[in-house]
Amino acid sequence: MIDKKGNIIKPDFIELTRYAKQFSGLTIEKENVLLSVKDEVAPLLGTVTDNFYDAMNDIPEAASYLEGRITGLKQTHLNWMNSVFTGPYNEEYTESMYDVGDIHVRVNLPVEFMSGGVTLICNELYKIIFELYGEDSVKTHNIISAINSALGFSLFVMQKSYNASVDEALNKFLLITGMSEALFAKLSSSFNATKP
Ligand code: HEM
């Protein structure tokens, strides 16, 4: 994103990692749970990806973004799904999820696609976890809790890119027009929308 002077800036990824971990409850114990099941889960992740894109294709608002791109998207998506189980959830992972969020911003994907998409992926992942470990309720609970935190973490970071794009749009407007932030805030607060 660009700051008020037009310089390109990136967040502090160490700090963003801490922030996102606290909100998602992602602990080292949960990372280890994900790692411990990765070999058994990995062969089933292709089905999760296929089902995710089938579901996307059934949503009229989403389908148009996928035209002609499905094969490539499935591959990058599968790579990411594997990384969910391997981690590590450090500043490099955070930066890569921030960049993935940014790519979605650049192709004008609505922000709600991020939470909707993660919800659908969680549904698919929970299905395979129940198939694999359903008879051991404690293990199943621990894995699902770890997946919930890992995907919550990823979603949190992707959404930061969307926030940054809103700030960027305002900063560009101020730079192009030469308007001060104070004047913009004054005009904005004195603007009264007409009731429908
Ligand atoms: C919510 C979870 C999602 C994840 C984790 C995810 C993951 C990814 C990844 C890893 C990439 C590639 C980034 C790169 O090139 O480095 C990507 C690109 C993309 N994704 Fe997603 N995605 C998600 C949701 C969606 C949804 C819901 C749609 C649309 C229905 C979508 C459409 C796209 C498009 C159009 C691109 C850009 C393709 C291009 O390079 O032109 N994604 N996504």
Q: How far is 92 from 52, CA to CA, in rounded Å?
A: 25
List CB contacts of 137: < 8 A, sequence separation 6 or more. Answer: none
Pocket test for ligand 1, best of 95, 108, 109, 158 (most atoms within 8 A of CB): 109
Residue 103 near ligand 1, beta carbon < 6 Å: yes
CATH number of 51's domain: 1.10.490.10
In a domain, 30, yes or no: yes
Say yes or no: CB of residue 162 within 6 Å of ligand 1.
no
Residue 23 has φ and ψ, to the nearest 5°, of -70, -30
Q: Which residue has the tokens 């293990």?
A: 139
Query: Ligand 1 center to residue 130 CA distance, Å?
Result: 27
Reading the block at residue 48, the tokens are 């999760």
- Coil, strand, or helix at residue 186? helix
Does residue 196 lie within any of the structural domains?
no
At residue 195 the predicted structure's pLDDT band, cuts being 50, 70 and 90, is low
Identity of the amino acid at 38 = K
Q: Which domain holds residue 89?
A: 13-190
CA-closest residue to ligand 1 atom 36? 104
Is 195 part of any domain?
no
Nearest ligand 1 atom to alpha carbon 59: 30
Region 128-133: what's the mean pLDDT?
97
In a domain, 108, yes or no: yes
Q: Is 74's pLDDT higher than 80?
A: yes
**Total count of domains within the chain:** 1
Give the CA distances from residue 41 to residues 23, 33, 62, in Å, rounded to whole numbers and listed in that order: 26, 12, 27
Question: The dihedral of CA 61, 121, 109, 159: what is its sign?
Answer: positive
For residue 91, pLDDT beyond 70: yes
* Across 58-68, average pLDDT: 94
Residue 4 domain flag: no
Least confident of 48-52, 150-154, 181-185: 181-185
Give domain status of residue 7, yes or no. no
Shortest CA distance to 138 belongs to which of 193, 52, 146? 146
Q: What is the pTM of this model?
A: 0.89
* 115, containing H or E segment: helix 112-133
Using one digit for the tens of pLDDT, what is the confidence trace for 12-29? 999 999 999 999 999 999
Q: How far is the CA of 63 from the centre of ligand 1 (A)?
A: 13
Ligand 1 lined by 117 (C-beta under 6 Å): yes
Q: Which of 1-10, 77-86, 97-106, 113-122 has the lowest mean pLDDT?
A: 1-10
Block residue for tokens 């949190």: 156
Q: Measured between alpha carbons, how far is 147 from 25 in angstroms, rounded to an integer?
A: 11
Q: Is position 118 within any domain?
A: yes
Please check whether residue 88 lies inside any domain of the structure: yes
Using the predicted structure, report yes or no on whether residue 55 has a pLDDT greater than 90. Answer: yes
Q: Is 168 exposed, middle or buried (0-12, 13-18, 19+ CB in 10 A)?
A: middle
| Alpha carbon distance 52, 99 (integer Å) | 21
User: Hey, what amino acid is at 101?
Assistant: G
